Structure 1
Amino acid sequence: MTDNKQWYQKQLRILQTVLREPDVVDYDAGSVVDYMEQIHANCIIINGGGIVDFFRHNLVTANPNPFMTKEDLLKDLVEAAHAKGIKVVVRVDFRGVDKKIYELRPHWFAVNEIGEPKIRDNPLHSAIFQPCYQSTYRNEHAYRFIDVLFEKYDIDGIWENSYSQSGICYCKSCSDRFRKETGHELPRGGQFTDSLYDEYREWKAACVMEHLRDCRAVVKKYGEEKAYAAEIFGLYHDRFKTDGHDLYAIKDHFDFLVTPLFTANHEPMNGPSTLIKFLKSLSPDKVPVMLFGHLGTNNDLRYISSAKQETRLWMWEAISAGGSFWNCVFNGQHPGATYDRRNALLSADIYDYMERYEDLLTEQQTVAEVNVLYSRATNAAFGNPNRSKDAYLTHLMGLEQVLNDQHIQYRLLTDDKLNLETLNAAKVLILANAACLSDQEVEIIRSYVRGGGKLIATNLTSFSTPEGTNRHDFALSDVFGCSFTGSVKDNSQYGYQFVKEAHALTKGFEDTQLLASWSDQYLVKTNTDTAQALLTYVPQIFPQPPERSWLRSYETDYPTMILNSFGEGQSIFFPYGVDRNVWLHGHNDFSELLKNAVDYMLEEQYVIRSNAPLSVHFSLNKSGAAEGGYVLHIVNTTAAPRRPVLQTIPVTDIEVEILLPAQQVNEFRILQGDSGIELVRVEPACEGQIKLFVRIPRIEEYTGIYIDAL
């Protein structure tokens, strides 16, 4: 199914060597290509120039690498790589120049609020001067620079590094254009993330779009087969507040989407899978690529290897969602010829697996029984890279932990794809503190539930506008069956919930009347007879003095879990951060409540059932190879309770039940894993479905199974 596609629309197994100046000495293109073949990579990213040029040209900004002599490494690498069928993409970087270049055209460069040049310091080398993002250097000069590269070399594409610029530029060009196009002066004072800069950020985003459109056009005039891409920060590292752009706005300009996610930041172990799902939802037709590093765990440690086992699991998690890779190294001609070579071949067998089964791993789509909405506006308003202060992604992380623990198959649905068709494609919609919803989004969700959809929502879902302004009540109050009273109670300490009655949603709590609570509690009251308050708020019970650590009554009129019927559908609403509590607090009451909610809405009918421990992650995807093709990915993250993961503990005697919309199994093939894996039997299930019973004797770190069922 990939025969008529461009190379960048197929599986990508990329190596980027970010060369330092001295790495050009005795550069051995043949050795680099030999290494590429050894690890089964199909594309290399190599320095072109900008800050430091790795080829010679006659443009006014020429700044040749001082270690270069007569060699032409781009020519040598392109010839050697193309002889082996490997693509070569050239990295350009126009974020700054040395002082000698700055002095030639000072009006091309950015200035701060008091008119001084904006400079990026380097304690060991000379500082670089930042260009204005609207200047000739960033635009017309950059386009001519790219022209020269294509004119001199048969390269396969351009990678524009650091195309964006944080903060604000006060140069005359920016001041004049902003005044002309908005009628206002450039904002000053405060923080760039303040609302004072909202109009400027939108204007700056339009300037970025203009540049990306023009730069893409330059690349594409050399042929549609030439790729244009850039590093895009999104999801875990959203930069709209600092850079004035995000993936939503700029994704259409790139031929594939690549976003960084390094292990050193200790995002969830399922983070790579989530990232790929996010990219797939944004641009279903573009290859989703995770940029990581086996050497150079992040910007703090670029010279030493990351933890081997965690990095391998990181890669398997991305594969389980249908992702491709961009392995970025920051020193040496290639990973086999640098200071730390411990992980030089770490990706070889994984890239080999991808290459061997490329046809089956192509165009994978999650078999989703649950939709989890990603709210761009909420992340912009409440997200924070400091997870202890974050009020959005941590809700998603906690929810995902519960779903992964229970082997529930879910799709991360970006809000630009929110419509009745996508919602009806899954059994349940979950809104994890999707606070900032537009009136249109609210109406889509309301119509979905009214028509028979099932909804689980938490915390402040629908309480704010997309701009972050609070409404007087939840916009979905009629769907939730409750209204906000106007009171918020701090339950971050000594907080509890009271179990009012036995119900499927309180399963497992038969022997307790009290459950844990934590964080702010938004006090609500039911507003319809169809709403059931199954748990209620308990005022804080202060522990000291212990003799007086009690309440006259533990019951209140303020529910903390509401089950409501709305139209033909149902909703379950938690008016507090039950999902965030899973991630940041950890008490099992929170995860059990969410598990019960999902169980109830799915009527305990799951695509995947297994006796595998919570640390084993299952992903069932439709394969693009055949109409009835599926790939079951199983990633074993079982390990000592710490990060990084240093050793995976094998799990044994795993039984899996898989529910598929088919009549029979035509093929059952082990792609990776224990040779003793067997399809024990197939049984008919309800409504044209079959159930497969699979036995897996042992899982080390990853198992892949292909199933053809029609």
Structure 2
Amino acid sequence: MPHKNINRRNFLQQGAIITGGVALTPLVGYASPKPITAQSTLADEPMWYQRPLRMLQTVLREPDAVNYNAQAVVDYMLKTDCNTLVVNAGGIVDFFQNPLPAANINQFMGKNDILRDITNACHKAGIKVIGRVDFRGVEEKIFRQFPDWFSYDDTGKPIQLGYTRPQLYASCYTSYHRNEHAEQFIKYIVGEYDIDGIWHNSIGVGGICHCSRCKASYKAKTGADLPVYATASDEDLKQYMVWKSEVADQHMRRMKETVKAFGKEKAYSAEVFSMFESGGKVDSGIDLYNAREHFDYLVSVAFLTENSEHIHYEDLNYANTIVRFLKSMAPEKEAVILYGGNGTAHRYVMDPPQDLKIWLWEGLSAGGRFWNCSFTGQYPGATHDRRNAYNHQDTYSFIKKYEHLLAHHVPVANVGIYYSRPTRLFYRNKPPEGDSFDDAIKGIERVLAENHIPYHFIPDDQISTDRLKKYKAIIMPDVKCLSENEVALLQNFVAGGGKLLATYETSLYSEDGLPKKDFGLADVFGCHFTGEKVNTRKDCYQYINDPSHPIVSPDSARTELLINAGFTLLCEANPSAKKICTYTPLVHNQPPEKAWTNEWAKELPTVLEHDYQKGKVIYFANQPDQVTHAMGHPDMSNLLLRSLQYLAGETIPISTNAPESVHLGLTQSARAEGEYIVTLVNTTSGQGRPIRRLVPVNAVKILLDADGKTLKKFEVMRSQGACKVELKDDKVEVTLERLEDYFSLFVKMG
């Protein structure tokens, strides 16, 4: 096989055509979450909203209408390579000359029409315009005119939103305000202003509304009266949430049909919050499971921080995580993260700039797009704090330049994390362990990201025999709630040769969150739950029962014990299962003279391996994933990593010598067969958040497995320093002299 050294200049000037026969076939067959075919919703000629979106949202305040300069907004957008503007249309305050009932025209606008001015200016520049509408509530003067349009509590008192000032009078999914009025409103602005789409802001409705429409609808559906939250049973609230999700679904469908009546090129979307939020017993009834079919592109709020009094920064890889999740839900749609404005809590000052840049590169590396949300001023360059005004420019300009290569990309992986909506809903009631739904998933993600292992999410409502077969290994991080159908599919997956890694209470509850006496997957795990769980958070250990096993052998020559933490289920292993590690009861640490035990217990497994027909399982009776996220002890993370490597074998297609602080990405085109993008995101920095300065990483190598397909073309899209590519031993070896922030390489296989 010929070897070629190619410098960065050659890459950038002409790419390269290699005829020597190198290939990446391990990539070619990798699982795309939902392969896009000629019959899918991605047309031969995609709509504008199915192409890479580079969005700016200006959430105008009322005084921003004074001397509004539409051309200055457009000039800024052109300078920063934005291609879509989201701008206030109205609902709470109207930024157009609204002739409809319940109009609340901006008091500072006079006879001007902001919506018309900015739409005309954007369209002349080739920029799409999405009108932001908000029907969550109205000011008191509007409520007094139309009191029967809005929401009421169980005492007959109108519901007001406590988090707004003034406190808006709220409306619900069945109300006239959110339906007939909203329809009329949307029809007017889409028809009159020729805007390109609607952004349905604050679409979710919290709490229980007792308006006459809700009472009638609920009675017709269930035969019961609406529950009163303070006295309702859990069953009553579950029944209410089933109905509420249905009416929320109907509302989204109605709004989308209103927009689409003007043509399929008109876009409709709304915000959905974190994939990890479990909410309370009563929430909005909207998440991506029911929203994805209604939205033309998927948007998730992904601020660096949250809107709360006590601020913390999200994990730097969360932007990547949410894009992976959105792509797993609907790979044919653009996955957009809505960022900026300091999580809205301190919206008048900048986001930490270095974190924000990493945030954008992280999202892009999974195939994501961006929605820069500016909360103050006419645009980011004309506000009190202008330090973030151009922070997105590098990323947006990169997307614009390489749009033809980046379009319609989805993450590549043959390892999947099982995502269970019923398990997320289980956490509406805080479990006795005190953990959260996201803890176990984030622990697994940490292990995968730090070790540069590509992965997908597998949404529980999309599993099938064919979907599961695409993965060499499936990870079930404390997936408590499984239906009988899911259990059967997973049993068949392992029986047919699949590999499974599961932790803690996986399959110990029904899909409705009801506890079982034993695991639904007990036969697959090779063990049975005794009915007892113990708190092993402190002074607890695991005895290495099988020191020769590959997942403990790197340590067993030097230790008999590993840490245990979190909670542990006491389980009895089948004779056919291998007990790798076993549960040891608490060893008190005080006084130290008494901190000993006669014998380390060896009966009850904490980690076991079981061969189930043609397949293999590693089951953890404790919480290594949750513990990895919470405290990061290497015993737990090493057990997870080695278990995954043991199960997946040599099938992981890509590797790098980069440190854990460099995140590796791999995506493939859903339209053009054989096209891939490899990325590196550097997060190496000093201690603590926010990040002050990135530390460059030198001499980074990436290896791509090659086996049979020719490498037709490649191009370095972004690199710092020299880049060398060698083709040898069925490997594509990429060597970077220096990585500062982001590296991106396009390859096309024959």
Q: Which residue of 2 aligns with 1:421?
A: 466
Query: Residue deviations 1:221-257, cap 9 Å, x none?
Result: 1111111111122413355841122210121111111
Q: Which residue of 1 aligns with 2:99?
A: 58
Q: Tell me, in whole angstroms, the C-alpha distance in 1 between the residues paired with 2:621 and 2:533.
A: 10
Between stretches 383-392 and 91-100, larger displacement belongs to: 383-392
Q: Which residue of 2 aligns with 1:486?
A: 531
1:437 aligns with 2:482: yes
1:144 aligns with 2:184: yes
1:533 aligns with 2:533: no
Which amino acid is the alignment partner of residue 111 of structure 1? Answer: Y
Which amino acid is the alignment partner of residue 461 of structure 1? Answer: T
Q: Please show how residues 80-229 of structure 1 align to structure 2 within 5 Å.
A: 80-121=121-162, 125-190=165-230, 194-229=234-269
Q: Tell me, in whole angstroms, the C-alpha distance in 2 between the residues paired with 1:466 and 1:203.
A: 18
Query: Residue deviations 1:308-348, cap 9 Å, x none?
Result: 11111111111011011111111100000001100100111
Deviation, structure 1 residue 120: 1.9
Q: Tell me, in whole angstroms, the C-alpha distance in 1 between the residues paired with 2:118 and 2:433.
A: 46
Deviation, structure 1 residue 289: 0.7
Q: Which residue of 2 aligns with 1:349?
A: 394
8 Å CA contact 2:208, 2:229 repeated in 1: no
Q: Tell me, in whole angstroms, the C-alpha distance in 2 between the residues paired with 1:276 and 1:143.
A: 31
Deviation, structure 1 residue 674: 2.2
Corresponding residue SS for 2:354? helix
Q: Which residue of 1 aligns with 2:46?
A: 5
Between stretches 58-67 and 336-345, larger displacement belongs to: 58-67
Deviation, structure 1 residue 625: 6.3
Which amino acid is the alignment partner of residue 34 of structure 1? Answer: D
Q: Tell me, in whole angstroms, the C-alpha distance in 1 between the residues paired with 2:267 and 2:524.
A: 47
Q: Tell me, in whole angstroms, the C-alpha distance in 2 between the residues paired with 1:660 and 1:264.
A: 41
Deviation, structure 1 residue 709: 2.3
Measured at CA, do residues 187 and 616 of structure 1 come closer, stay the same or move farther in structure 2, by a change above 3 Å?
same
8 Å CA contact 1:262, 1:298 repeated in 2: yes
Deviation, structure 1 residue 508: 2.3
Query: Residue deviations 1:281-320, cap 9 Å, x none?
Result: 1112111111111xx1112111111111111111111101
Q: Tell me, in whole angstroms, the C-alpha distance in 1 between the residues paired with 2:370 and 2:355.
A: 16
Deviation, structure 1 residue 117: 1.0
Which amino acid is the alignment partner of residue 175 of structure 2? Answer: S
Q: Tell me, in whole angstroms, the C-alpha distance in 2 between the residues paired with 1:315 and 1:274.
A: 12
Which amino acid is the alignment partner of residue 693 of structure 1? Answer: E
Which amino acid is the alignment partner of residue 221 of structure 1? Answer: A
Which amino acid is the alignment partner of residue 681 of structure 2? Answer: V
Corresponding residue SS for 1:302? coil
Which amino acid is the alignment partner of residue 533 of structure 1? Answer: K
Q: Please show how residues 365-380 of structure 1 align to structure 2 within 5 Å.
A: 365-380=410-425
Q: Tell me, in whole angstroms, the C-alpha distance in 1 between the residues paired with 2:195 and 2:436.
A: 44
Corresponding residue SS for 1:235? coil
Identity of aligned residues (%): 38
Which amino acid is the alignment partner of residue 507 of structure 1? Answer: S
Deviation, structure 1 residue 78: 1.1
Query: Residue deviations 1:60-85, cap 9 Å, x none?
Result: 20111110112111111111111111
Q: Which residue of 2 aligns with 1:390?
A: 435
Corresponding residue SS for 2:538? coil
8 Å CA contact 2:695, 2:740 repeated in 1: yes
Provide the TM-score with structure 2 as the length reference: 0.91
Between stretches 233-242 and 101-110, larger displacement belongs to: 233-242
8 Å CA contact 2:279, 2:428 repeated in 1: no
Alignment length (residue pairs): 700
Which amino acid is the alignment partner of residue 83 of structure 1? Answer: K
Deviation, structure 1 residue 390: 3.5
8 Å CA contact 1:359, 1:624 repeated in 2: no
Corresponding residue SS for 1:554? coil
8 Å CA contact 1:96, 1:129 repeated in 2: yes
1:555 to 575, 587, 601: 601
Q: Tell me, in whole angstroms, the C-alpha distance in 1 between the residues paired with 2:81 and 2:541.
A: 55
Structure 1 residues not aligned, in runs of 5+: 685-690
1:411 aligns with 2:411: no
Q: Tell me, in whole angstroms, the C-alpha distance in 1 between the residues paired with 2:361 and 2:428.
A: 27
8 Å CA contact 2:335, 2:369 repeated in 1: yes
Query: Residue deviations 1:469-524, cap 9 Å, x none?
Result: 11110111111110011121110111110011221010321211111111111001
Which amino acid is the alignment partner of residue 270 of structure 1? Answer: N
Q: Tell me, in whole angstroms, the C-alpha distance in 2 between the residues paired with 1:182 and 1:13.
A: 45
Q: Please show how residues 645-660 of structure 1 align to structure 2 within 5 Å.
A: 645-660=691-706
Measured at CA, do residues 647 and 533 of structure 1 come closer, stay the same or move farther in structure 2, by a change above 3 Å?
same
8 Å CA contact 1:7, 1:225 repeated in 2: yes
Deviation, structure 1 residue 261: 0.9
8 Å CA contact 1:167, 1:192 repeated in 2: no
8 Å CA contact 1:193, 1:242 repeated in 2: no
Query: Residue deviations 1:263-284, cap 9 Å, x none?
Result: 1242222111111111111112
1:701 aligns with 2:741: yes
Q: Tell me, in whole angstroms, the C-alpha distance in 2 between the residues paired with 1:77 and 1:388.
A: 53
Q: Tell me, in whole angstroms, the C-alpha distance in 1 between the residues paired with 2:215 and 2:223.
A: 11
Which amino acid is the alignment partner of residue 472 of structure 2? Answer: K
1:281 aligns with 2:328: yes
Deviation, structure 1 residue 3: 6.7
Q: Which residue of 2 aligns with 1:627?
A: 673
Measured at CA, do residues 38 and 408 of structure 1 come closer, stay the same or move farther in structure 2, by a change above 3 Å?
same
Measured at CA, do residues 284 and 447 of structure 1 come closer, stay the same or move farther in structure 2, by a change above 3 Å?
same
8 Å CA contact 2:277, 2:424 repeated in 1: no
Corresponding residue SS for 1:504? coil
Between stretches 55-64 and 84-93, larger displacement belongs to: 55-64
Corresponding residue SS for 2:225? coil
Between stretches 302-311 and 356-365, larger displacement belongs to: 356-365
Which amino acid is the alignment partner of residue 408 of structure 2? Answer: E
Q: Which residue of 1 aligns with 2:31?
A: none
Between stretches 95-104 and 114-123, larger displacement belongs to: 114-123
Q: Which residue of 2 aligns with 1:674?
A: 720
8 Å CA contact 1:2, 1:10 repeated in 2: no
Q: Which residue of 2 aligns with 1:586?
A: 632
Which amino acid is the alignment partner of residue 213 of structure 2? Answer: S
8 Å CA contact 1:239, 1:246 repeated in 2: no
Q: Please show how residues 328-339 of structure 1 align to structure 2 within 5 Å.
A: 328-339=373-384
Corresponding residue SS for 1:237? coil
Q: Tell me, in whole angstroms, the C-alpha distance in 1 between the residues paired with 2:670 and 2:745.
A: 15
Query: Residue deviations 1:136-179, cap 9 Å, x none?
Result: 11100110011111232111011111122101011222122212
8 Å CA contact 1:384, 1:391 repeated in 2: no
8 Å CA contact 2:566, 2:626 repeated in 1: no
1:515 aligns with 2:556: no
Which amino acid is the alignment partner of residue 215 of structure 2? Answer: S
Between stretches 339-348 and 184-193, larger displacement belongs to: 184-193
8 Å CA contact 1:108, 1:132 repeated in 2: no
Deviation, structure 1 residue 599: 1.3
Q: Tell me, in whole angstroms, the C-alpha distance in 2 between the residues paired with 1:232 and 1:300.
A: 18
1:321 aligns with 2:361: no
Which amino acid is the alignment partner of residue 617 of structure 2? Answer: S
8 Å CA contact 2:545, 2:602 repeated in 1: no
Q: Tell me, in whole angstroms, the C-alpha distance in 1 between the residues paired with 2:421 and 2:248.
A: 19
Q: Which residue of 2 aligns with 1:637?
A: 683
Q: Which residue of 2 aligns with 1:688?
A: none
Query: Residue deviations 1:410-441, cap 9 Å, x none?
Result: 11111122112122112111101111010100
Deviation, structure 1 residue 196: 3.0
Comparing both chains, which one has the higher relative contact order based on Cα–Cα distances under 8 Å and sequence gaps of 6 or more?
2
Measured at CA, do residues 339 and 188 of structure 1 come closer, stay the same or move farther in structure 2, by a change above 3 Å?
same
Corresponding residue SS for 2:199? strand
8 Å CA contact 2:96, 2:116 repeated in 1: no
Corresponding residue SS for 2:551? helix
